[in-house]
């Protein structure tokens, strides 16, 4: 019978496998490495008494797994990884009966740095030697004794005869008994010490995050992305960035973000779940979420883009401008100190400094629409719902409460009144009052 491979993922250390790192749970990295082997099945064993076991469903959804995935509830996990693995094998033995004479690759889920190439090499070495049990080891320590491959037809008869109370010395005892039975027990050395890391505490979690960050940045750099300081850039695992894009220091890109080619992300930029086109420039200290920047857009510095915002090709958005739920048209400009919310701005519009769309009336959000080629003067308030026609001009300092026709000039401000000598007379009266002892 053809031997097949099943991967067993015991839970590992508590909830560490569910801790988000670079945009997905830590255990997803272990599951992804296992999936790349394309085994016949993957078995996930989780402790039923620990909180949040339903989180496994969310974890599995973050990884494309062409292999069948089984979830089994087992005994509460032990802090001793060898005991936890022993318990996992006992719990899953009925399922393994569906795969007779298979190789079982056991990998604790809290080993996120194990690469698929290392697991594949371990499996090849195990099969090439005809081994019944093969341990993944390191030259400097026995830190990977809980990562192993075993042949079910040789091991399970002995496993069933072992008492669960002997689990602490179980694999050493199992190896001895296999050797006595004339079976082969071997070791395969893991050359990369980082892969041995077990995430058992917050310190290990931080080390794992740093290594995963390094791997992600290196993968992007191999595809042509330029990192000016890779040690300070945090790019989530699902993020894609096009070639020749330059990432400056202290940039954070999260979620399902897609960035085109030849873009520039300047220092302290924070991007979440957004799409950026080719040749986009995001200047320093700009924050965006659920935003689309089309090709050749420039935004920032100190701009904020809230969800459902789209800045169309060639537009410019400058410092201290906030947008929300807005389509900002091609080649339009809003360069200074403005708020544009729930708005549709057509092409070639100039929005002056200090413009505010007053979109909230205390009960509902209301829309603003600005036609192509309109000019909005500085310090303008557009009280929604309101529409500014194509090519219209709004005088600076206006408060617009009614629609403005295309091509019109709208002025909505109080008439300027000047009183000659008023300031001089006021100063004289104040001086006289002080001399008379009056306050």
Per-residue tokens: 84: 């936890």
336 tagged catalytic: yes
- The three state secondary structure string of 324-372 is ECCEECCCCEEEECCEEECEEECCCCEECCCCEEECECCCCECCEEECC
Which of 126, 268, 270, 336 is labelled catalytic?
A: 336
**Torsion-angle region of residue 61: left (phi > 0), alpha (psi -120 to 50) or beta?**
alpha
Vertex 361: Cα angle to 351 and 400 (nearest 5): 40
Q: Cα 54 from chain centroid? A: 21
Cis ω before 301 (30° cut-off from 0): yes
Long-range (24+ apart) CB contacts under 8 A made by 156-160 are 156/93, 156/96, 159/89, 159/90, 159/93, 160/93
Strand, helix or coil for residue 170: helix
> How many Å apart are CA 354 and CA 376, to the nearest integer?
10
Please name which of 233, 281, 239 lies closest in space to residue 257, comparing C-alpha atoms. Answer: 239
Host H or E run for residue 106: strand 103-106
Strand partners, 341: 324
Please name which of 36, 39, 42 lies closest in space to residue 4, comparing C-alpha atoms. Answer: 39
Strand, helix or coil for residue 223: coil
Please name which of 337, 324, 329 lies closest in space to residue 288, comparing C-alpha atoms. Answer: 324
CB 265 within 8 A of CB 242: no
CA distances from 389 to 119, 373, 383 (A): 65, 9, 15
Q: Cα 275 from chain centroid? A: 13
Phi, psi of 287 (to 5 degrees): -125, 135
- Catalytically active residues are 336
């Amino acid at each position: 019978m053809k031997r097949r491979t099943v991967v067993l993922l015991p839970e590992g250390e508590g909830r560490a496998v569910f801790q988000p790192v670079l945009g997905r749970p830590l255990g997803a990295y272990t599951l992804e490495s296992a999936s790349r082997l394309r085994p016949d099945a993957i078995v996930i064993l989780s402790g039923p008494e620990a909180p949040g076991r339903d989180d496994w469903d969310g974890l599995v959804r973050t990884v494309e797994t062409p292999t069948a995935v089984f979830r089994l509830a087992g005994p509460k996990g032990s802090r001793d990884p060898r005991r936890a693995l022993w318990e996992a094998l006992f719990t899953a033995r009925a399922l393994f009966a569906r795969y007779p004479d298979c190789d079982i690759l056991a990998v604790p889920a809290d080993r996120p740095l194990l690469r698929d190439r290392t697991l594949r090499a371990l499996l090849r070495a195990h099969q090439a030697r005809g081994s019944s049990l093969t341990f993944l080891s390191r030259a400097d320590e026995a830190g990977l004794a809980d990562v192993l491959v075993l042949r079910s037809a040789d091991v399970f008869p002995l496993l069933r005869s072992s008492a669960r109370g002997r689990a602490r010395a179980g694999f050493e005892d199992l190896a001895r008994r296999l050797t006595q039975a004339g079976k082969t027990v071997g070791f395969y050395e893991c050359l990369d010490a980082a892969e041995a890391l077990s995430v058992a505490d917050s310190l290990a979690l931080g080390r794992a995050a740093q290594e995963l960050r390094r791997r992600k940045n290196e993968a992007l750099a191999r595809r042509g992305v330029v990192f000016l300081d890779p040690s300070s850039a945090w790019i989530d695992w699902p993020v894609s960035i096009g070639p020749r894009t330059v990432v400056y220091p202290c940039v954070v890109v999260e979620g399902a973000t897609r960035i085109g080619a030849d873009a520039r992300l300047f220092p302290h930029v924070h991007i979440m779940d957004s799409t950026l086109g080719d040749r986009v420039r995001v200047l320093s200290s700009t924050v965006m979420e659920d935003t689309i920047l089309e090709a050749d857009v420039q935004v920032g510095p100190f701009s904020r883009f809230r969800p459902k915002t789209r800045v169309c090709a060639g537009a410019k958005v400058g410092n201290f401008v906030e947008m929300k739920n807005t389509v900002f048209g091609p080649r339009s400009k809003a360069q200074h100190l403005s708020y544009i919310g729930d708005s549709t701005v057509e092409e070639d519009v100039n929005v002056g400094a200090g413009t505010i769309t007053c979109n909230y009336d205390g009960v509902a959000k209301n829309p603003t629409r600005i036609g192509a080629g309109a000019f909005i003067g500085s310090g303008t308030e557009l009280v929604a719902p309101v529409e500014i026609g194509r090519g219209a001009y709004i005088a600076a300092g206006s408060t617009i409460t009614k629609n403005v026709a295309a091509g019109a000039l709208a002025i909505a401000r109080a008439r300027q009144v000047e009183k000659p000598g008023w300031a001089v007379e006021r100063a004289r009266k104040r001086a006289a009052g002080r001399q008379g002892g009056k306050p």
